[in-house]
Structure 1
Amino acid sequence: MSRIEKIQLHDLSMPFKEPYPSAIATLTALQTLLVIVTTDDGTIGFGEAAIVEGYTHETRQGGWDFCLHYAKKAIGLHCQEAMALWLEHRSLHSHAVAALVSAVEMAMSHPLLGPHAETVAVPMLAPVNAKNKSQIHDEVDRLLAAGFKTLKVKVGFDVASDLERLTWIQAHVNGRATLRLDGNQGYQLAQALEFVQSLSPQCIELFEQPCKDTDWEAATQVARISPVPMMLDESIFEPQDIEKAAQLQAAQYIKLKLVKSGGINPLMADLHSITQHGMQRVLGNGVASEIGCWMEACVARSTIVNAGEFNGFLKPRDHIFQTPLCFADGCIVLPSGYWPALDMSAIQRLSVQQALIHSEV
């Protein structure tokens, strides 16, 4: 059984092509923690986690400190021992844990990651970020021409303007795509109730997380009267949160991300739990590099039947894979035999801080 020989940490800042707005924050760069693991038999794996403060209780500096501390503890351990050590801390540090654990899972050639014998195309959605009517029309047309069949509309700012913008989008889409709404915890309960009561369900697949992640009563009340299915995202971090959502009937959909589950195997267990509790599952992180998006697409190809949200790799100006992750016709495309390698020159250029942890012997 392989042991952990070396762990490299990089804190990356990858500028976006254009700002990415949400009710939580407007992001101008992908700031992500990169973990590169080398085992004593020479295999290499890597994982990442972008910590967006406000989305999670974790902080970027806290994630760096956790990875640095627990990487040191893992040197010389068997891979399974290291992952077990890290996963003990999933509830408080899921993002940092996911970066560490998924790197080892890749080094161990997790079967879901491939390389695949055939070319795989995994559908994604795309966000509509434009604000005024003419720009919305142009952006929607461009996204539809690029092959996207599901579009994401961020709300949670102001009820009246959100509804007006949504009406413009619905009218222009006119049945050519499905819409997925995302409140990003931006509404108070009264605002969320006003929004769903005024909402036309035309083309809308679901409405995601309108209220604060800890406000389960608000989630339940909105779900009770909404004309479209509700989805929880920020409220879901641990397996018991999935069970709670089912018991309260607070959502028909649950969205997961690799960074919330703490690794590929825990993510698979969480996806299974959603189905076991009678809900539908959505997967994907819109704030991730090629690493996280590749891993989530590999998981989604056999577990998800709707559009994935793993489109974060399209936002930065830079690639960090030697052979960039491929996009075509609204999908991530994984050619047969695809297995990524890192572009270390790009990573060095984009690193804000870095560390190397290895045995002193």
Structure 2
Amino acid sequence: MSAAERPVGPVELYRLRLPLRTPYRLSFATLDDFELFLARVWLGGDSGVGESVPLAVYSTETAEDVWSALRESVRAIAGRPAGEALATLERSRERRPFATAPLMTALETALAPPVPSEDLAVPLLGTVLSHDEDRSPEEIEALLGAGYRTLKVKVGFDVAADVRWVARVQELVDGRARIRVDANQGYSFEAAREFVGCVEPEGIEVFEQPFDPGEWDAMARLAALSPLPLMLDESIATAADLERLIELGCAGTVKFKLAKAGGLAALERLIARARDAGLQVVLGNGVAGDVGNLHELVVAARAIATAGEMNGFLKPSRRLLTNPYEVVDGSARLPRGYAAELDWERVEAHAVDRLDVALAATAS
């Protein structure tokens, strides 16, 4: 029996709530915890894991939508050959990526474990969390001292204050790192035009996602006048969105996330298409856990040159792995042969709901 013919099951689904070390401030919300959905899928003696953390700006899927769809999907695939199960999940992937990603990625990694064949070091981005004039110098120095050479700052609140804040960060960084500026959809066109006209471009790697995802005309107008390089994230939910970006030429950089792509194979197709079109690619999810970020790290190590944003695993107060991968000199390190081992007691401790579906009960 080939791997694709092996029946799917058992399957375990977990709905977790992971408190964060520090509240994570975005233009549209402040997160105190991650609501993370985790799947473990068995194929005979092999298993894989996948996860997602739904966030309103990335998808219309709510946490309740994701949990409901996961329970529906697991009953549809349990007992089916793995190849058929992947095809079943693919049919709903673009429509509900965050509900598809945990099961799709668990199946993909059960079939092809993401075990590095050599030592990997993936440079990560460091996020400046503080907007406090007194605390930010210390935080930025700590990030630079830890080896981060790309820093992210959040804007999208008040233009005048944001301009002053970016200028202050530029002053403190003093050319020692690149700066990504993320508005998280927080601006109108008028606000974004004012922002790009007032910020000194020196040291700015990209200005990310100033508008709501559907504001393509505004993005094209901004691209025509912005001295800052532009990047899209939330606007790119499907392959069709990527094609629209390529057609309009309204950003030179695009960011992808595994959970938003809905699976590893889909993610790698998006990356390949973007690179073929001459776009710079950024990969990684700052709102994710150990499992999702690990899978992104393995992809980034072979396909991405920019600093990764898969730093969500550093935000929860406790890691979910018994053998957590580490960050050294600003890079995530995966030793050759590394295989993540989840602490299932810790998973259980953070679970607010779960579902187990046995193979025997569902096989046809």
Q: 2:37 touches 2:102 (CA, 8 Å); kept in 1?
A: yes
Counterpart residue identity of residue 6, structure 1: P
CA distance in 1, matches of 2:58, 2:254: 16
Q: Residues 278-311 of structure 1: CA distance to partner in whole angstroms, max 9, x if unpaired?
A: 2111100000000011000000001000100000
Counterpart residue identity of residue 178, structure 1: R
**2:119 is the counterpart of 1:97:** no
**2:188 is the counterpart of 1:188:** yes
Kindly report which structure 2 residues correspond to 1:306-325, keeping only aligned pairs within 5 A, or say none.
306-325=306-325
Q: Residues 188-227 of structure 1: CA distance to partner in whole angstroms, max 9, x if unpaired?
A: 1111111111111011000110011111011111111111
Partner residue of 2:21 out of 17, 21, 28: 17
CA distance in 1, matches of 2:189, 2:59: 20
Kindly report which structure 2 residues correspond to 1:179-328, keeping only aligned pairs within 5 A, or say none.
179-328=179-328
CA distance in 1, matches of 2:210, 2:278: 22
Paired position in structure 2 for 1:152: 152
Paired position in structure 1 for 2:112: 109
Q: 1:53 touches 1:60 (CA, 8 Å); kept in 2?
A: no
**2:31 is the counterpart of 1:31:** no
CA distance in 1, matches of 2:222, 2:102: 34
Which runs of 5 or more residues in structure 1 are unaligned?
none
Counterpart residue identity of residue 251, structure 1: A
Which runs of 5 or more residues in structure 2 are unaligned?
none
Kindly report which structure 2 residues correspond to 1:12-161, keeping only aligned pairs within 5 A, or say none.
12-39=16-43, 41-110=44-113, 113-114=114-115, 116-161=116-161
1:243 Cα deviation from its structure 2 partner: 0.9
Percent identical across equivalent pairs? Answer: 36
Q: Residues 7-50 of structure 1: CA distance to partner in whole angstroms, max 9, x if unpaired?
A: 111011110000000112111111110011012x2111100000
Secondary structure at 1:92's aligned position in 2?
coil
Secondary structure at 1:91's aligned position in 2?
coil
Q: 1:208 touches 1:231 (CA, 8 Å); kept in 2?
A: yes
Moved segments of 4+, more than 6 Å: none
Task: State TM-score, norm by structure 1.
Answer: 0.97
Q: Residues 124-155 of structure 1: CA distance to partner in whole angstroms, max 9, x if unpaired?
A: 00111211222111110000011100000101
Paired position in structure 2 for 1:333: 333
Q: Residues 296-344 of structure 1: CA distance to partner in whole angstroms, max 9, x if unpaired?
A: 0000001000100000000001111110121111111001210012110
Q: 1:86 touches 1:101 (CA, 8 Å); kept in 2?
A: yes
Task: State TM-score, norm by structure 2.
Answer: 0.96
